[in-house]
Structures are given as structure tokens and as C-alpha cells.
Amino acid sequence: MILGHHADGAMNSVHEVEAECVAQDARARRAVEVERLIEEFHADLKSGFVVETPGKLRRIVQHFRAHIGRAENVAPRCNAPWVSAVIESSGDVRPCFFHPAQGNIHRQAFTEIINSPEALSFRANLDVATNEICKRCVCSLYVSRQAENNAKP
């Protein structure tokens, strides 16, 4: 909807225009609030006491803008399917929280699941930047090679 007109060209009512203005104002206030928090807790962010980065906090605003159709969905920097897996209470194993299960630990070994032809093909063909599930993702697990190497015994 364009402010002032419906998609068919008809004029919006005063109430519709007013509601849209209020919604835009609320979105702007949320963005300002995130920036204020980043500024106020700059030392905690820089020291690592607050684990998330300012960029990830700003991404929350971007995610909600996309959710309501005011921005494009943008996939986060993520390598979850290559460095982790999700095991649900049912035993289902997923490459991340949002992609379909690839096996179940009650029916086969975990290493067989994550190294199965299906799992290997999934990871080989996954382009996080263009995958529709990834583009709507709210998670952003990214493990750097340095962190990965430091975790090895």
C-alpha cells in the first residue's frame, strides 16, 4: 500500500493513513532505541560482556522491517550447517533450527546422519545468501576458523 492510496488507486481513509503513520513512527522509535542501547552499552559490547555485536542488534530492526514488508529479507552471516547440528528431543537431527531434519539418532548414528549423502549434498549446495529459509532466519551462528581451531584439543 502506498501511503494515501490503496493498490487499486482508491484513497485511504483518514484512519488508515493515521494508522500507517503511527506504525512508521513506532518502527522509527525501535531503530532509535537499538542505537541508544548500542551507545549506552558500548563498553560492554566492546569488552565482550555482551556477546552480540552492534551489527547483530541492528539486524533485529532489519528483520522486523522485512517481516512487515518494509525491507528485503537478508540472510545473516552463518555457517551453522557446517559447524554444528541441532538434535531435537525427538532425536531428529537438523543442519540448523530452520531446515528440515536429515535423520534421527534413534534410527542411526549421529556421524552417519551428518555425513550422509543427503547432508553432504545439502551443505555442498546451500547458498546461505540466496536460500529463502536462510533469508528469513533470525539466528546467526557464525564460528570463525580461529575459534574452531582454538576449540580443538
Cβ(106)–Cβ(91) below 8 Å: yes
Task: Give me the half-sphere count of Cα atoms (radius 13 Å) on the Cβ side of residue 109.
Answer: 3
Phi first, then psi, for residue 105 (nearest 5°) are: -70, -10
Residue 1's pLDDT is: 42
Phi first, then psi, for residue 93 (nearest 5°) are: -115, 125
Residue 107's pLDDT is: 97
What is the C-alpha separation between 90 and 104, in angstroms, rounded? 8
Which of the residues in the chain have pLDDT under 50? 1-3
- The one-letter amino acid code at 42 reads H
pLDDT digits over 86-103, tens only? 999 999 999 999 999 999
pLDDT digits over 104-118, tens only? 999 999 999 999 999
